[in-house]
Amino acid sequence: MKKLTDLQVLINEAVDKLTFPESPAELYEPISYILALGGKRLRPALLLMACDLFGGDVESAVEPALAIEVFHNFTLMHDDIMDKAPLRRGQVTVHEKWNANVAILSGDAMMVESNKLMMKVRDAILRPVMDVFNETATGVCEGQQIDMSFEERNNVGINEYLNMIRLKTAVLLGGTLKIGAIIGGAALNDADLLYSFGVNLGIAFQLQDDILDVYGDPDKFGKQVGGDIISNKKTYLLIKALELAKGQQANELNNWLTARQFDAQNKVTAVTDIYNQLQIRQHAEKAMQTYAERAFNALDDINLPEERRQYLRQFADSLLVREY
């Protein structure tokens, strides 16, 4: 098995070599720009890993892996317009550096480019690969729409939230792994199990992210601790707290959610205190554990030599116990 870090190096080199036409510049420059912003490029590396797991030729999976990276960055380019985000990975977003129209159209062209890259698989698996890719793309669009609609709603339920993060982030992880498995020559059942592993792992990872935003070590967690609380972001923790809080607790929580002027640190401390009273962290960790177990159960059933399953387990462990 190739090391994931080596696969990331391979992907980085491939992204650097990826070129687009020079003209029209305003269509293609933003594509090169957003791809050059970097990031961990974990998804494309995982596509290669999945191919390698089943004994496939990693080189033959590089262009489909790039397709996943281009597709993911297309969604970021459009999401940033919708979120009016000024920065992406510490750099100016495309719609700020150029304008919203450029970001819309470049994103559209990026999606076409990702389709072209994904088509670069052998004929025998073209249809199954493209079917997974299209279903994944639909899921990501649905997840983004559901997430946007949450901002205007105050009655989001836990199951709706879990469905949203499944669609918005987890199906892309699952789809990426499944495509890699198909390219690697996996049987359909094993590819489906790897998909299930990826989706459940993705949900667990997102729940961990929600927990870390409140309870993470500020020195290890990349973002501002409490950022979700300050912005009233509907995370697992907040939704669960709104479900469980009664009487005085519920009033206090709602006061913080509706306050227009507040001291950020006071809000973080007070809301965290309510979370603690309601044992929200434990609820969230239990949910996270449930999805992690589902991922590990799917993994156990994959028809692979035990040391390869162990490799996947270690990878999942490395993702799931990050920065406490």
Contacting residue, 85, 119, 125, 250, with a copy of itself by CB under 8 A: 119
CB of 299 to a copy of itself, least distance (A): 29
Neighbour tally for 174: CB within 10 Å: 27
CB of 127 to a copy of itself, least distance (A): 6
Q: Using the rule CB under 8 A, give the single segment among 42-50, 94-102, 189-197, 286-294 that binds a copy of itself.
A: 94-102
CB of 108 to a copy of itself, least distance (A): 5
Query: In the numeric block, which tokens belong to residue 131?
Result: 């079917």
Q: Using the rule CB under 8 A, give the single segment among 36-44, 53-61, 135-143, 224-232 that binds a copy of itself.
A: 135-143
Q: 208: buried, middle or exposed (CB in 10 Å: 19+, 13-18, 0-12)?
A: buried
Whose Cβ is closer to a copy of itself: residue 60's or residue 115's? 115
Among candidates 225, 27, 192, which has minimal Cα distance to 110? 27
Whose Cβ is closer to a copy of itself: residue 147's or residue 190's? 147
Contacting residue, 49, 146, 183, 288, with a copy of itself by CB under 8 A: 146
Segment (H or E) for 92? strand 91-92
Q: Which long-range contacts (CB under 8 A, 24 or more apart) does 276-282 make?
A: 277/249, 278/240, 278/241, 278/244, 278/245, 278/249, 280/237, 280/240, 280/241, 280/244, 281/211, 281/214, 281/215, 281/237
Segment (H or E) for 91? strand 91-92
Q: Using the rule CB under 8 A, give the single segment among 33-41, 131-139, 216-224, 250-258 that binds a copy of itself.
A: 131-139
Contacting residue, 37, 63, 91, 142, with a copy of itself by CB under 8 A: 142
Q: Does 290 bind a copy of itself (CB under 8 A)?
A: no
CB of 323 to a copy of itself, least distance (A): 32
CB of 25 to a copy of itself, least distance (A): 9
* Cβ neighbours for 227, distance < 8 A, ≥ 6 positions apart: 213, 233
CB of 4 to a copy of itself, least distance (A): 29
Give strand pairing partners of 87: 92
* Distance, CA of 271 to CA of 2 (rounded, Å): 45
* Distance, CA of 175 to CA of 128 (rounded, Å): 11
Q: Does 131 bind a copy of itself (CB under 8 A)?
A: yes
CB of 171 to a copy of itself, least distance (A): 13
List residues near a copy of itself by CB under 8 A. 21, 24, 26-27, 78, 81-82, 100-102, 104-105, 107-109, 111-113, 115-116, 119, 123, 126-127, 130-131, 134, 137-138, 141-142, 144-146, 148-149
